[in-house]
Structure formats: structure tokens, C-alpha cells
Structure 1
Amino acid sequence: MCRWLAYSGSPILLDTVLYRPEHSLINQSLHARMGVETTNGDGFGLGWYSADGDGTPAVFRDIGPAWNNRNLLELSAHVRSRLFFAHVRASTGTAIQQTNCHPFRHGRWMWMHNGSITDFHRLRRDLCMAVDPALFPSIEGSTDSEVMFYLAVTYGLDQDVPGSVARMAGLVERLGKEHGVPNPLQMTVAVADGERVWAFRYSSERKSRSLFYSSRAETVRQLHPEVDFLRGVSEATRLIVSEPLGYLPGVWNELPEGSYAVIPSGTEDYLPFVPEYM
């Protein structure tokens, strides 16, 4: 599968979390501890919103491994962002090409995914036929992840993020049943609009891929005053990651099965997620 992280909070240089932690995402591209594969070298991608508040994200993707990409190292040491995604890919069968690398972008929205639609080749036609015809030309690659994204856009991502993702998941579940595909959906998804990040953890068999969110910044500062970059960040600063970026007791909280989180958020750390059948 893949490994990813989403950051929201005070503007920081991207390499602060991409490279510097003990078990950074770059380290995970070679030495993942909790993924299906140890190595995630089938491409990578960054997506970020500018620190000055422009709502349109920039995207940088490549088909090589993240661990030895000099452009990624150079860019991440000079770009500062308040909200960004990073993803390292392990293909589940689709081609290794730029258009299949995450994150995917449509207008102000970004989307990335770890998981798969089981027997996607059997469900693909019906899933694609459900995409709004006006959106279909925007699908550039061949992954299930990108089709999931455009289904969510079709089902009202602009108006209701959790509802649109629930309707997308419900369609996959229904079509899986119709085609005799057991446990068709496995997903940890992140989606952002430039202001907030939503992260979802769900699978048909209730054995979802790992996903964690960080504790509040003040809590982390109290527990680990030696973590330099946290000293000046806002209380709203949070991370969501496929696996922890290092061993820091009290920092990483597993997102429960069948739930979603929003950052920045109110008092609730997570809410239940259930597919919506149409």
C-alpha cells in the first residue's frame, strides 16, 4: 500500500516533518513499520497551500522513490506552508506514472489515499459511469484512488465532505456486493480544502490500515519540550499520519476503526464514519 501525512497549523518548512523526524515519511518510504509493504518506492507526491492564504494548492509528483530525489529535498527545504500533504506510493497494480501519484487535485481540493478497491478492474466501469460527466475528463490516471476522489466531488464534496465520502464508500460497497466482491473497500483517506483537513479510516472487513493523529500542541510541548519545531507553533497545529514519525509517548493517537477526524476541529477528536447507501 502507501504511507502518507497531512499537516495543518502554523506555517513551517516542509522538510521539518518530511525529513527531520526519527521515522520521517522519507524514512518510511524505505523502512515502513506498519504498512503492507516495507518499501514504498513507486512514486511520491507533495501538495501544499501557500502560507499567505491562497486557496489553490500546488502539486509536485514524480515516479521515482522519495528517498533519493534531490528535487524533493531541495524544494522541501525552501517551501513554507500552513497546510500540506505528502505521500509515498506502493502500487497495488496500476501503472507507475505521474498521473497515478498522489495527492490528486481539483480546484481548491486535494485528496490522497492508502488502501484499495478490491477487484477494481471488475468495478471500474460502473464506478466511472457514476462520476459526473462534466468531471470525467479531469481523471488523468488509472488508479482507484483518483476515481474515489471524483466520485466524492460528484456526490457533493463542496457542500458536505463527510457525507460525500460516505456516499462514495456506499457506492463501492453496493457495487462490490452486486459483482460478488467480498470486502471491496479498504481506505485511509485525507482530503483538504485549504482551510481544514478531513481524514477517514474505514474498511469493509473492519481491519483498516493504520492511521494516527497527533495530540494538541500544548500537550506535546509539555510532554516533549526537546522537540524544537513545536516551540513556536499554534495550538491548532496537528498532524495526521499513516504511522508515527518517531517514538514520542503521549503524542500519537490511533484513529479508531470506522471514524474520521477534522483538523483544526472543535472539542471532538473524531466522529463515526458509516457508508451511505444511495
Structure 2
Amino acid sequence: MCRWMAYFGDPVPVEDLLFRPEHSIIDQSLHAKLGSFTTNGDGFGIGWYGTGSVPAVFKSTHPAWSDENLHEVATQINTPLLFAHVRASSGTPVQRSNCHPFRYGRWLWMHNGSLARFPELKHDMMMAVDPALYPKIEGSTDTEALFFLALTFGLTEDPPNAVARAVGLTEQIGRRRGVEYPVHMTVATTDGETIWAFRYSSEGNTSSLYYSTDVAQLRQLHPELDVLDRLGPDARLIVSEPLRDLPGAWNEVPDGSWGFVRRGKQEIHPFEPVRGG
């Protein structure tokens, strides 16, 4: 399994998000507490939105905790939306093209979890990908396969429905192959304006996922924390693990649900795979 975090809000230094929290995503690359693996050292990636028309992506096969380039880059970037991911491979090679987040146009996608017995499912999944999208697939992971299935089913127009259809098809393929619980995932995807997050597994026992409490409420709870004064009113974090032990700061995303965060609005809804195509 892997660890990931997503930030949305006013522009902030990436260094503050990646390195300063007590249990930052960098610390989680070595000392994860809630995942199946303590160490997530099979590469990392960050994706962020700046002045260009598409997000920038920086990835490496090095462990995040020892990559000096990551720290150098992080000190020079301010962004209103950041995806960060540290990888623990579930069997596919440790190579840059398999590091998250994945990008298509303005869209980013990252994942924690696995598709059970993916090598047996891969052919049928790939055959369902839109032929026009297929040449854009660079790596060999189950994550990227699920991303391109979601794109095939209309991710850029209706993310919740597209992910539900991609998951539903994956479960159908898996069960035809005798896989009882094919899907285990927490997923984040974004177009730069909204972050959608999903927590679901076929067996109903999904990896952890949390979102941060409203900043105004946090300031009332913890007036001693100067860092909260530097965050705008729309600031939200979605994380595999809380970044620090702060009472009232973190809320668990319910298992079997999806939600979104955009400026001035956030919602959570039940997630149900759509089967049949």
C-alpha cells in the first residue's frame, strides 16, 4: 500500500505541506502508522497547479526521505492545489512511469490500494479502454489502468459516475476470473478546481482516509497554532494518515463513500459501483 495527501486552498509553500508537519508525507514514507507497510520507499511523486495550462509533475524512483531534489523543488513552489504520493509497490516495477500522480491533460490521479490479482485482470481492463486513450498509458500499474478506465467512462465530465463505472467493470472482470474482492482503493483526482476523493473496497475494509476540519473551527480549537493563521478559509487537506496529532483536526472519510472539495463547498456521498458497462 501507499500513502498520499492532497491540499486545496490559497497558495502555500509546498515545503510547508511536505516537510514541516510532525507526521508529514515524508515521515510517512519511512514511518507509516495506519497502512499495511511501514515503509513506502518505492518512489514518490508530486503534482501541482501553477501558471501553465496543465499541472506540473515531479516524480522519482528514489525514496522520498532521501531525495535532495524534492526538497530543493519544494522550497521554490507555491501552489493552491498539491497532490503528493509515496509508493509501496504491489508488484509492478519500481520505475518513474509507475509513480503517482498520473496526469492526463489538466487531470491528476493517485491511488492507495490494489486490484487483487491484477495481472489476471489487466488484459480485459485494457481492452475496455478507449482506443484513442490507450497510447497515453505509460506504465504498468493497476492504478493507471483504473485511471484510464475512468477517463474512458467520462471522468472529465462526471468524475463520480466515471469512477463508479470503472470500479463496477473491474469488479465484474475480477469475479469472472474468480477474484472475490477485486478492488481496494482510496483515490484522489482533480482538474485543478475541484478535488474528488473515493474510499471503497469490494470487501468493505478499506484503507484509512481523513479530511481536515474547517480552518475557522480549528483556529477556535487551537489558537496557539500560528500556522493556522496562514491558511485561507477554504483550505482543506485529504490524507491517508493525519499529519499531526491534533484533537478535532481530522475527520474520517466513511468507508464506501466519495466526496469533493472546491472553493466554498465540500460534500460527502455514498459510493456504489455501477455494474453493467
- TM-score, structure 1 as length reference: 0.97
3-state DSSP class of the match of 2:49? strand
Where 1:91 maps in the other structure, the secondary structure is coil
Aligned-pair identity (%): 55
How far off its partner does 1:176 sit? 1.0
Aligned equivalents of 2:198, 2:84: Cα separation in 1: 16
Give the structure 2 partner of residue 87 of structure 1. Answer: 85
Deviations 1:201-222 (A, max 9, x none): 0000000000000011111111
Counterpart of 1:241 in structure 2: which amino acid?
V
Number of aligned residues? 276
Matches within 5 A, 1:37-56: 37-50=37-50, 52=51, 54-56=52-54
SS at match of 2:103: strand
Which segment drifts farther, 260-269 or 197-206? 260-269
Partner SS, residue 247 of structure 2: coil
Q: Distance in 2 between matches of 1:234 and 1:196?
A: 16
Query: What corresponds to 1:242 in structure 2?
Result: 240
Match of residue 174 from structure 1: 172
Match 1:145 to one of 126, 143, 146: 143
In the alignment, the residues of structure 1 paired with residue 24 and residue 130 of structure 2 have an alpha-carbon distance, to the nearest angstrom, of 38
The one-letter amino acid paired with 2:175 is K
Partners of 1:87 and 1:209 in 2: how far apart?
A: 15
Q: What's 2:203 paired with?
A: 205
- Corresponding residue number in structure 1 for 2:66: 68
The residue matched to 1:256 in structure 2 has which SS?
A: coil
Structure 2 SS opposite 1:270: strand
Cα distance in 2 between the residues matched to 1:187 and 1:225: 36
Distance 2:246 2:273 in 1: 33
Structure 2 unaligned residues grouped into runs of 5+: none
- The amino acid across from 1:120 in the alignment is F
- Residue 58 of structure 1: aligned partner: 56
The unaligned stretches of length 5 or more in structure 1 are: none
Within the candidate set 233, 238, 258, 1:260 is matched to 258
| CA distance in 1 between partners of 2:263 and 2:251 (Å) | 15
Moved more, 218-227 or 31-40: 218-227
Q: Quick one: structure 1 residues 268 and 92, their matched pair in 2 at CA, closer, same or farther if it must change by over 3 Å?
A: same
Q: d(CA) in 2 for partners of 1:65 and 1:193?
A: 27
With over 3 angstroms needed to count, the CA separation of the structure-2 counterparts of 1:63 and 1:267, relative to structure 1, is: closer
Distance across 2 between alignment mates of 1:6 and 1:133:
30
Q: Greater CA deviation, 111-120 or 224-233?
A: 224-233
Q: Is the 8 A contact 2:211 2:236 kept in 1?
A: yes
Alignment match, 1:157: 155
Q: Is residue 203–residue 258 contact of structure 1 (8 Å, CA) maintained in 2? A: yes
Aligned to 1:3: 3
Q: CA deviation at 1:132?
A: 0.4
Distance 1:47 1:268, change over 3 A: closer
1:118 aligns with 2:119: no
Shift of residue 227, structure 1, vs aligned partner: 2.8
Give distance in 1, aligned partners of 2:218 and 2:54: 31
Structure 1, residues 153-197: CA drift from partner, whole Å, max 9, x if none?
100011101000000000011111111111000000000001010
- Measured in 2, the distance between the counterparts of 1:125 and 1:199 equals 27
- Report the more deviating stretch, 216-225 or 247-256: 216-225
Q: Is the 8 A contact 1:196 1:264 kept in 2?
A: yes
CA contact (8 A) 2:9 2:263 kept: no
Q: 1:30 aligns to what?
A: 30
Give the whole-Å Cα distance in 1 for the aligned partners of 2:61 and 2:230. Answer: 35
Aligned-residue CA RMSD (Å): 1.1
Say which of 102, 105, 119 aligns to 2:103.
Answer: 105
Measure how far apart 1:30 and its partner are: 0.3
**2:212 pairs with 1:214:** yes
| Aligned-partner Cα distance in 2 for 1:184–1:173 | 6
State the distance in 2 between where 1:36 and 1:242 align. 12
